[in-house]
Amino acid sequence: MRTGDLRASGPLRTADLLGAGSDAAHRPGGVGADVPGDGRSALRTGPRGVALLLPEAGGESADSRPVPGGGKRAPGTRGADGADVGAPRCLGPDGGPCFDAAVPRGGYAWWYVDALSDDGTHGLTIIAFVGSVFSPYYAWARGRGLGEPENHVALNVALYGPRARWAMTERGRAALARDATSYRVGRSSLTWDGNALSIGIDEIAVPIPRRVRGLVRVHPTALPARLFVLDPARRHLWAPLAPHARVEVQMRDPALSWSGPGYLDSNAGSEPLEDAFRFWTWSRATMRAGTGVLYDAERRDGSALSLALLFRPDGTVVERDCPPVARLPGTLWRMPRPTRADAGMKPQLVRTLEDAPFYARSEVASRLWGEQARGVHEALALDRFRQAWVKLLLPFRMPRLG
C-alpha cells in the first residue's frame, strides 16, 4: 500500500443497516483517506476516522510489491511494532505471530484461524485468547478493579459440519505458558516455526462433554507484514498475518481429516473491545485473485471504519473500492448481518455457523470486484454484549477452570 488514495465510500452505520428499534451493533468492509507517499507515515485518518496503516518497522514504505522468488515475506520485512500506539504487538520479527507481547490490564490479544474444506462440507474456527474479550469472568473482574488479562485465557475451537464440536474453557494464569513463538493453555498449544503454525488441540466440548483432540496446521502462502490501527485513539490493532493460506486438519476426536483454504490474523488492544466499538462486521473470502477482506466498524465516538482489501497469494496487498452495502438474513437471535457485495448482487447465506445473542458467524457466497467469492462472515454487536443478561448466559458455553 505505498501510494494512491483510499476513497471513503460509505462506511456501514447502524442507522443505515438496522432500522429503528433494532439493537445497535456491527464489524468489516471498505477504505478511505490517502496513504502518504512517505512510507514512514501512517495512513491518515479521514473524516470518519479510517484505519491507519503502519509500515514494517525499519521498512522504507508500506507498499504492495510482490514477494520475489515465491518467498513467504514481503520485501524488507522486519516486523511492525505496535508498542508506539499503546496496544500489544501483533507481529513477530518475521511477520508471523508474536505470542509473547505484553497485554496491559483490561486489554486483550487474540490469534484467529478459520478454514473451509475444499469439498464444502467442513469448517473450523480456532481463537487463542490472552484477556478473553467475550469472557463474562473477565468483564466481572474488570468491574471489581481487577482484570489481569493473563488470568483470563482460553482456546476456542469450533468444528462445523458432520461431527461438529464446540469448546471454550477459560483458565487462569497457571494454565498459560507463552514465548515469542509458542502459546500453551492447558493441554492445547500453538507453535510458529517461521513457515507454518501448528495447533495442537486437547479440549472438552460443551454442552455435551466430549473430547476435542487433533492437530491443525496453517501454511501461509505469504506474510504481508501489515499492521492496521482501528481507532483514532490508536488502542486497537489488527494484523492480517496470513490472509491467504492452506489449512490441514487431522482430528482424532472426532475422527476427521480434510484440508482447504484458510486465514490467520491477530488483534490486540489496550482496553476492552466494547469501550471503543458499538458494532462491527468482518469477512474474508477466497477468490481467484487471492483473499478479499471487508472490515466495517462503528465506533463509540460516532466515527466509522471501512476497509476493502485484496491479499494476493504473493504477499501483495491491494486497496479496493468498497462495494455497496448488502444484507444477509437476520439470525434466530435477530442479529443483523450487514455485508457488502458488487452492485446488483445479492449475497447468499450458505449456512449459519454460530448464532449467539451478540455474535454471528456465517459461511457466505457472493461476488466482489467482479469475481465469485466464498468465505466467512462475522457480525458482532458490542452493545448487546454489554447487557447483563447476555453475560449471564455465557458460562453455559464458556466454563472456567482455575
Per-residue pLDDT at 14 exceeds 80: no
Q: Each residue of 229-280: pLDDT tens digit? A: 999 999 999 999 999 999 999 999 999 999 999 999 999 999 999 999 999 9
Cα-trace Rg, the chain: 19
Q: Give CA–CA dist 283/378, Å, rounded.
A: 6
- Spatial distance between the Cα atoms of 107 and 149, rounded to a whole number of angstroms: 6
Q: What is the pLDDT of residue 344?
A: 94
3-state secondary structure of 57: coil
Q: What is the pTM of this model?
A: 0.83
Report which of 356, 349, 305, 351 is spatially closest to residue 335, judged by C-alpha positions.
356
At 273-325, the pLDDT tens digits run: 999 999 999 999 999 999 999 999 999 999 999 999 999 999 999 999 999 99
pLDDT of res. 387:
95
| Pair 218, 199: CB distance under 8 Å | yes
Tell me the CA distances in angstroms from 268 to 4, 218, 236, 253, 385, one per residue in order.
Answer: 27, 20, 6, 31, 18
Non-local (6+) Cβ contacts of 13 within 8 A are: 298, 304
* Helix spans in 95-185 (H): 136-143
pLDDT tens digits along 182-214: 999 999 999 999 999 999 999 999 999 999 999
Q: Do the Cβ atoms of 252 and 214 come closer than 8 Å?
A: yes
Residue linked to cell 443478561: 389
- The model's confidence at residue 53, banded by pLDDT at 50, 70 and 90, is low
Return all residues near 344 (Cβ < 8 A) that are at least 6 apart.
none
Domains and CATH numbers, the chain: 14-57+75-401 (2.40.370.10)
Task: Please state, in angstroms and rounded to a whole number, the distance separating the CA atoms of residues 309 and 307.
Answer: 6
65-111 pLDDT, tens digit per residue, is: 333 233 344 333 333 333 344 678 889 999 999 999 999 999 999 99
Q: Mean pLDDT for the chain?
A: 83
